[in-house]
């Protein structure tokens, strides 16, 4: 693959109507399945595998790739990998891609390396653009709410980032409902309407529904993208027979082995039976459940192989 010029599949937009959803009441269409670069795309992952997964996604109409400043090991290296992918494969397709990044969690030492100040958000986005070899991102998120920074400071930084042409749209991730309401109002009043909310939603974690966030987004015409729709791999066949050595759980960091309880295995066996009855895999059943929730624009999956992604996008028909 190394020396071959990448030509994207001519078939990539053949199934437009089954692949895309409108993002809230905006002009943007997003693929119902989007690809996240949190794990498996950093300097610790084989470049050619990252490249194969990314090419496969784009060849199948998956136009939205999601990043944050701190993704990859070491932090930032997923964006660096993408910069290389832009140079090697994707530069001719820049206008067909919808690239997001975020800032909010710890990225560098000292008082300006995390949370929600204007100083941090602006500097972090500049760093992300350099790593990704991009002039602008399509979407920039506040990755978490900062209770110690005036909310207007964080929101005005988002407005100004759009005005400066460094992002086309802004998003909010992981903010509580009350602050989300204030944020959406502020952004609307400053003519930079909130495009999308990113929150964790899967069959095992329904907080955005229970807390009213999904309803709020739907009513306000804000898109909703569900992260970890497979509960980091728990809602697949990955852990049915043990903990594979190459899995996220084997690293015992973000997904720890205490999550693999007898109750979870019982639940998975029921889900497997239900999935089989509808001709699906557990992962497909879990993704379809999320997509079926009213107001969900896209499920944001991770993948450590082309096979996994292939399995996941099969729900698009
Ligand atoms: N805003 C936020 O705070 C936030 C937080 C977390 C994530 N995110 C975003 O959401 C994206 C997705 O998160 P996630 O990686 O936790 O999502 P996920 O889709 O719930 O989990 C992905 C993992 O599940 C396993 N997997 C995926 N498809 C599979 C299949 N068909 N069969 C078996 N196993 C399968 C793989 O695990 P193995 O790697 O073990 O093979 C893969 O790495 C991230 O990349 C990021 O963009 C955002």
What is the per-residue pLDDT for 2?
60
Q: Atom 17 of ligand 1 has which residue's CA nearest to it? A: 228
Peptide bond preceding 135: is omega within 30 degrees of 0, i.e. cis? no
Please tell me the distance from the alpha carbon of residue 150 to that of residue 117, in angstroms, as a whole number: 8
CATH value of 16-233+281-316 in 3.20.20.100, 3.40.50.12140, 1.10.3720.10, 3.30.420.480: 3.20.20.100
pTM over 0.75: yes
Token couple for 48: 């050619």
Which residues on neighbouring strands pair with residue 225, listed in sequence order?
198, 298
Q: Give the chain's length.
A: 317
Dist. CA 232 → ligand 1 center (Å)? 4
Dist. CA 190 → ligand 1 center (Å)? 34
**Protein residues whose CB sits closer than 6 Å to any atom of ligand 1:** 36-40, 66, 143, 173-174, 198, 227-233, 236-238, 247-248, 283, 300-304, 308, 311-312
Token couple for 171: 């998003």
Dist. CA 32 → ligand 1 center (Å)? 15
The domain locations on the chain are: 16-233+281-316
Task: Categorise residue 61: left if φ over 0, alpha if ψ from -120 to 50, beta otherwise.
Answer: left
Query: 127, 111, 98, 114: which is closest to 154 by C-alpha?
Result: 114
Return the ligand 1 atom nearest residue 311 CA. Answer: 31
Dist. CA 43 → ligand 1 center (Å)? 17
What is the per-residue pLDDT for 317?
84
Dist. CA 106 → ligand 1 center (Å)? 20
Query: 234, 309, 244: which is closest to 264 by C-alpha?
Result: 234
What is the per-residue pLDDT for 4?
80
Pocket test for ligand 1, best of 176, 233, 282, 316 (most atoms within 8 A of CB): 233
Dist. CA 300 → ligand 1 center (Å)? 8
Helices 306-313 and 282-292 cross at an angle (nearest 10°) of 50
Return the ligand 1 atom nearest residue 38 CA. Answer: 45
DSSP 92: G
Dist. CA 160 → ligand 1 center (Å)? 31
Pocket test for ligand 1, best of 34, 230, 280, 307 (most atoms within 8 A of CB): 230
From first to last of its 317 residues, the chain has per-residue pLDDT tens of: 666 899 999 999 998 889 999 999 999 999 999 999 999 999 999 999 999 999 999 999 999 999 999 999 999 999 999 999 999 999 999 999 999 999 999 999 999 999 999 999 999 999 999 999 999 999 999 999 999 999 999 999 999 999 999 999 999 999 999 999 999 999 999 999 999 999 999 999 999 999 999 999 999 999 999 999 999 999 999 999 999 999 999 999 999 999 999 999 999 999 999 999 999 999 999 999 999 999 999 999 999 999 999 999 999 98
Q: Atom 37 of ligand 1 has which residue's CA nearest to it? A: 233
Q: Atom 15 of ligand 1 has which residue's CA nearest to it? A: 302
Pocket test for ligand 1, best of 228, 271, 283 (most atoms within 8 A of CB): 228
Q: Atom 27 of ligand 1 has which residue's CA nearest to it? A: 303
Dist. CA 228 → ligand 1 center (Å)? 5
Dist. CA 48 → ligand 1 center (Å)? 19
Return the ligand 1 atom nearest residue 199 CA. Answer: 1
Question: Residue 172: enclosing H or E segment and its boundaries?
Answer: strand 167-173
């Amino acid at each position: 693959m190394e020396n071959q010029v990448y030509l994207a599949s001519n078939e990539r937009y053949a199934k437009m109507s089954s692949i895309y959803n409108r993002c809230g009441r905006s002009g943007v269409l997003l693929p119902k399945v989007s690809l996240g670069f949190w794990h498996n795309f950093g300097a610790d992952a084989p470049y050619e595998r990252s490249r194969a997964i990314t090419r496969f996604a784009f060849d199948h109409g998956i136009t939205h790739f999601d990043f944050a400043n701190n993704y990859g090991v070491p932090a930032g290296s997923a964006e660096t990998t993408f910069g290389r992918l832009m140079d090697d494969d994707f530069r001719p397709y820049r206008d067909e891609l919808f690239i997001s990044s975020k800032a909010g969690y710890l990225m560098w030492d000292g008082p300006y390396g995390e949370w929600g100040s204007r100083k941090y958000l602006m500097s972090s986005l500049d760093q992300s653009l350099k790593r990704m070899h991009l002039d602008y991102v399509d979407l920039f998120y506040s990755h978490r709410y900062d209770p110690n920074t005036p909310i207007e400071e964080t929101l005005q930084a988002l407005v100004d980032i759009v005005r400066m042409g460094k992002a086309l749209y802004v998003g909010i991730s992981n903010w509580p409902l009350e602050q989300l309401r204030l944020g959406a109002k502020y952004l609307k009043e400053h003519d930079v309407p909130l495009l999308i909310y990113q929150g964790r939603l899967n069959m095992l974690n329904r907080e955005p529904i229970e807390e009213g966030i999904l309803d709020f987004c739907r009513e306000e015409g804000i898109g909703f993208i569900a992260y970890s729709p497979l509960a980091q791999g728990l809602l697949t066949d990955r852990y049915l027979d043990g903990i594979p050595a190459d899995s996220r759980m084997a690293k015992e960091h973000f997904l720890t082995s205490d999550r693999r309880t007898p109750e979870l295995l019982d639940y998975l066996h029921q889900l497997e039976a239900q999935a089989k009855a509808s001709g699906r895999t557990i992962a497909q059943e879990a993704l379809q459940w999320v997509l079926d929730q009213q107001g969900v624009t896209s499920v944001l999956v991770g993948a450590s192989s082309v096979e996994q992604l292939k399995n996941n996008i099969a729900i698009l028909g």
